Structure 1
């Protein structure tokens, strides 16, 4: 049994070398997904050695140059260079991203914060730069359950081997990952098995002035399902990571005055790369209450001038 909040890691608790956070199979019981997060100062660089994983490079803030090779579509010794335009912050709309093929190596240069989603796989797909204007932007829910989803690493947008990657922006006072749902049992066409990583960032609500001592935060909740026991009810802030191997999860709540962001990385053992979920029967009815409600007028969050 996981005791309360033991799968939530404060910023820096998963540090390894030059990386602020690293999630991989070095964590007991973790098998299908990975994540790396780092902050680069001007002139710095990060190395991604060739490995049996596919990767998605996601600028959180700032812009980056990625030199990569061994992608299956290049001759030995050749390398490609991709400029990632990035964005000022995760609350400035979608970013362009770079998918790196299984077995590719890369070097990331630039200034800002960057995340790298990973999944072990032997499947080889071509590396691809997905530009910001190509990213499907979804406004999900309604009213106080409104949130903005950037689906740059989902099956509809990206030909990948194993993982499903997206990011969610939840405006202050709103709930996301709601109603609670799970994906830990194989029911073909109804539910898939996917372990999940949440990486969080928080900020003062867009357009609001706040004193320097403001402390942006949100909450995440997860609880036991027949697949396993878990108990999470935790405050989260920028840089925190939650690992959800199973269980019902939701809501993620943005506190009044503070916006909430999270990057999701999902993958599992099923043969099909698909996100099928089951709602908690106690709360699934809430979806029906969104009918006739407008999406929160603060959305979409787009790049500020």
Structure 2
């Protein structure tokens, strides 16, 4: 009877242990039981696993990003070897940590000076990689590999999006006490979503959405026109989002009240013509000033009496001798 009770107790302990292991999804649990006289002895073991992120990590060009990687259950990685790799590269090493120090002798060149581990967190099993000054070429799959722990590894995918400039928002024209606004965003890596909001945060409908195909560099440009009416504040916000990387930029504009009372007019053409006139006037003024300066300089030089002082000595002597001949004074012959 005692043997049965002991066996049931051991079985209960085993079930509790296994449920704990399975619930964590991070452990490999092994158990073995042996029967000895009047007792059952069970042995349990746990294998440390390398755990990353099941969801893609998203970064922005020029920013910093952290690729998560941990040892579970929590185990110090100070004495372990940590290798971050990109299998598609040659060499594939992105960052190496060995013998308690970084060892990036064979690191892929484009990652030089841009990678690091959280050294103070290694004791807690945190072997995550920090990547700075992110580039578009950094996008792809990364492997967090711990060769000293039974060659455990995990893969993390990195998405990289362009940190696009703020969208352009301008007044195009007026029509029937309404104003047409133009909102344009360019240089977007991921397909954008562009909207216009009023001061209350309400999304306004677009007149004619225009989306240009990707250019030679694979970047998007999107343009929308919106017809708006006068509001309490006349403040409107153009907002562009790249949903894949959760990136958003926006620009605001205030439309003067008088714009809603003017007759229909193409302000975009007017503004362009005005800028052209200003630029033309400036260029013309500069050219005209140069021409006038040259004419004045030549005139003053021609009428400056000091120019005589700069006359060549032989010419000055010739004029003196000519004067003597006219006065009847004999000229001295040059000695041979």
When normalised by structure 2's length, the TM-score is: 0.19
Determine which structure has more spread, i.e. the larger CA radius of gyration: 2
Structure richer in helix, relative to its length: 2
Structure richer in strand, relative to its length: 1
**Greater relative contact order structure (CA < 8 Å, 6+ sep):** 1
